Amino acid sequence: MTDQLQQLINGLALGSIYALIALGYTMVYGVLRFINFAHGDVFMLGAFAGYFLAEPVAKVIPPQSYLGGIVVLMLAMLICALLGVVIEFLAYRPLRKRPKLTVLITAIGVSLFIEYTCQHKKVFGASPRVFPELIPNTTWELGGLVIGSAQVIVLVTTILLMIALTFIVQRTKIGTAMRAVAFNPQAAALMGVNVNHVISFTFGLGSALAAAAGILFAMNYASIDPLMGVQTGLKAFVAAVLGGIGNLPGAALGGLLLGVVETFAGGMKGISNYRDAIAFGILILILMFRPSGLLGKQQTEKV
Amino acid sequence: MKLARLIYANSLFCLLAALLVGCGQGTGGGSGAGGGTGSSSSGSNSGGEIKVGEFASLTGKEATFGISSHEGTLLAVEEINAAGGILGKQVKLITEDTQSKPGESATVVNKLIARDSVIAVLGEVASSRSMEAAPICQKNKIPMISPSSTNPKVTESGDYVFRVCFIDPFQGTVMANFATSTLKAKKVAIFTDAKSDYSKGLAKFFKEKYLANGGTISSELDYNGGDKDFKAQLTTIRGGSPDAVFVPGYYTDVALICIQAKQLGLNVPLLGGDGWESEKLTEIGKDSVEGHYFSTHYHPEVGTEISKKFLENYKKRFNGKIPDALAANGYDSMLMLADGIKRAGGTDSAKLRDALAATKDLTLVTGVITINQQRDADKSAVILQIKNGGYKFLESIKP
């Protein structure tokens, strides 16, 4: 029983990271109707931004303090938001009027470009690095259940960021514009919405969330490398599809669900090394039986 | 129309280029780090040098293995050349990087053989990658010596493939006996990297011996090398309350496993093999790896004459760095090759192969080796414990 509860905790901690990344996938899809496959790499860049920021920040604010951690997180989110805007501007904007497939292939190209550039000796190098301890690392034990401070922070930060995101999308002017562009870009443009600004903002916001996820992931798992975004990014993509791509609560639900399922599979004797296969199996099943995802609405494409 | 013309022009250009260059370049791929790679496609070893190829993981997730091994090999080459070379010829080491990636070994070894016409190949540390290269060396009849690949299957590829290290059945047995007699562990869990032949082999031999010793296995779980999250499996392992856990993996994963095991309150000794030995293990794992045990090939405290000299020269050459087992094995692989060439009286591949197969009582840094029927080296293992961020020598075990 204790073990099952422990697995639930492990699964929720892993799932909330998937959820954060899935939010970025789903937001870009919601507005632009295309999958930004470079999103997982922005997640990696976020972790590296945190790695390089930790030292200069530690000079100003004493290391391993919550304030320092928050400052590093915020700065990394800002850097990645800018990167997201730049990626969109350079790689996707020129292709805005082209078929969706062109943009999708470009996204895969951007992803490979980032991964292999970062693996170069003069950039990050391919060897894993040790992520510094941003916050005091403590563990609490409750009758055999172990919860680490990093796990709690991951869960809390994810919830906070999700609330903030929902607020932005539902209650602010730019959020309304985002929903308008998602609904019908031409009509939104006619109503005076600057579509380019809205799209840039969407990319920036999604990338900032990916950066946060990257740092939370690195805090939890200590080592980072330039290819860390590949597998995690794909899992988050599965989570987004599972919850219903384009749907914000869906992405969060999908992420948590996937994390929990994967963790329980990983803990079972005999199938523990099939946890990735199970995650991608879920993707196939969802696409077969409920292509719009758990929370997605069935839509008919207008031709 | 335009396109057709373009394709035509392109293929014509390629044909011309191929004629000019001589078609010999083949395989492509990124050029390796390390040693100079001047590519003279003609003439093999007619000049005053012996070309030896080396492939190692100089970058990627097992980079410290490749770098250590390469430094050991390089030191041996430099010492041999300073002492006048082999049979009066200088040794030229051509190094290629496998980036710790599957598939890459085949590419670079083909390149070494076809483009650089090396007379022998040294490498790799990881068994999976040695097993990729071995059939290629066998097909081309180029002797290959693996410094540190311990999976038995490596030398099964053919009679041109050798190694200077012991094999997993021996290493697995040593750790199983250690768990039974020294740790007095009644129940152990086994946690295997399902992606790695090395890990699976070691787990199998450990299990066989440990069961024969009268122990029980509390649980057996798998992970995929490169995973970051091991908490799912470790929680189940914790549920079986073992006295020790055998984790025959590589250092990057092992460090994360140690950290997460400690976080989950799984406070039992973890045991492993030579795949643990890297400064990255303690760098990433910090105090989580303290007190755990692993078996390996060499420790600087094993004070034979040749190993003392090696320790001294290695420190001098690489800014005071203490050599690890992989550096010692890399060094030994070159010494064994040099000894073979001397006894063969040249670099003719069939003669060199026979000479290597006949290696007997050769004194190397990691011990005195004899190449057996399976072309593996018979020699002893050491068991180390991680203490204060370093390795403490516990015992040396003969086969």
Torsion from C-alpha of A208, A25, A111, B225, nearest 10 degrees: 90
For residue range A93-152, list pLDDT tens digits in order: 999 888 888 988 999 999 999 998 998 888 998 788 899 988 887 888 887 788 888 888
Report d(CA A148, CA A155) in Å as an integer. Answer: 11
Q: Name the nearest CA neighbour of B290 among B368, B355, B207, B385.
A: B385
Max CA separation in chain B (angstroms):
79
> What does the pLDDT read at residue B199?
93
- Cis check: omega of the bond before B79, within 30 degrees of 0: no
Is the confidence at residue B293, as pLDDT, over 60? yes
Report d(CA A161, CA A215) in Å as an integer. Answer: 14
Is the confidence at residue B25, as pLDDT, over 60? no
For residue range B239-254, list pLDDT tens digits in order: 999 999 999 999 999 9
Residue A203 CA to chain centroid, in angstroms? 12
Instruction: Give the mean model confidence (pLDDT) for residues B269-295.
Output: 92
- H helices of chain B, where? 2-21, 63-82, 104-114, 127-140, 168-177, 197-212, 231-239, 251-263, 279-285, 305-317, 325-344, 349-357
> What does the pLDDT read at residue B16?
46
Distances (CA, A) of A203 to A62, A89, A112, A243: 33, 10, 19, 20
Q: Which residues of B touch A10 (CB under 8 A)?
A: 229, 231-232, 235
For residue range A62-75, list pLDDT tens digits in order: 878 888 889 999 99
Q: How is residue B347 written in tokens?
A: 């670099």
Å between A273 CA and nearest CA of chain B: 5
**Which amino acid is located at B285 in the chain?**
G
Instruction: Give the mean model confidence (pLDDT) for residues A9-29.
Output: 91
> What does the pLDDT read at residue B21?
43
CB atoms within 10 A of CB A53: 21
pTM exceeding the 0.95 threshold for the entire prediction: no
CB atoms B236 and A225 under 8 Å: no
Is the confidence at residue B1, as pLDDT, over 60? no
Q: Phi first, then psi: what are they for B145, rounded to 5°?
A: -120, 120
The C-alpha angle with vertex B193 and arms to B190 and B198, in degrees rounded to 5, equals 95
> What does the pLDDT read at residue B41?
39
> What does the pLDDT read at residue A125?
83
Q: What is the DSSP letter of A220?
A: H
The C-alpha angle with vertex B264 and arms to B263 and B268, in degrees rounded to 5, equals 95
Q: How is residue A39 written in tokens?
A: 């999103």
Which of A189-198, A285-294, B98-107 has the lowest average pLDDT? A285-294
Q: How is residue B290 written in tokens?
A: 């303290």
> What does the pLDDT read at residue B63?
87
For residue range B117-133, list pLDDT tens digits in order: 999 999 899 999 999 99
Please indicate whether residue B9 or residue A290 has the higher confidence score (pLDDT).
Answer: A290
Q: Which of B60, B229, B255 sits opposite A127 (nearest CB)?
A: B60
CB atoms B226 and A231 under 8 Å: yes
For residue range B340-381, list pLDDT tens digits in order: 999 999 999 999 999 999 999 999 999 889 999 999 998 888
> What does the pLDDT read at residue A275?
85
- What percent of chain B lies above the pLDDT cut of 70? 88
H or E element in which residue B395 lies: strand B390-397
Q: Which of residues 1-30 of A touch B (CB under 8 A)?
A: 2-3, 6-7, 10-11, 14
> What does the pLDDT read at residue B398?
77
Is the confidence at residue A298, as pLDDT, over 80? no
Is the confidence at residue B32, as pLDDT, over 50? no
> What does the pLDDT read at residue A61?
84
CB atoms A146 and B264 under 8 Å: yes
Instruction: Give the mean model confidence (pLDDT) for residues B323-327.
Output: 91
Q: Name the nearest CA neighbour of B96 among B29, B42, B146, B35.
A: B35
Q: Does B102 touch chain A (CB under 8 A)?
A: no
Q: Which of residues 12-41 of B touch A (CB under 8 A)?
A: 33
Spatial strand order in the sheet of B362-364: B362-364, B367-371, B377-378
> What does the pLDDT read at residue B24?
37
Q: Name the nearest CA neighbour of A23 among A10, A13, A11, A36.
A: A36
User: Who's near A274: CB < 8 A, 6+ residues apart?
Assistant: A265
Instruction: Give the mean model confidence (pLDDT) for residues B201-213.
Output: 94
Report d(CA B303, CA B295) in Å as an integer. Answer: 18
Report the complex ipTM: 0.87
CB atoms B239 and A264 under 8 Å: no
Instruction: Give the mean model confidence (pLDDT) for residues A273-288.
Output: 87
Q: Phi first, then psi: what are they for B94, rounded to 5°?
A: -110, 115
H or E element in which residue A113 lies: helix A100-119
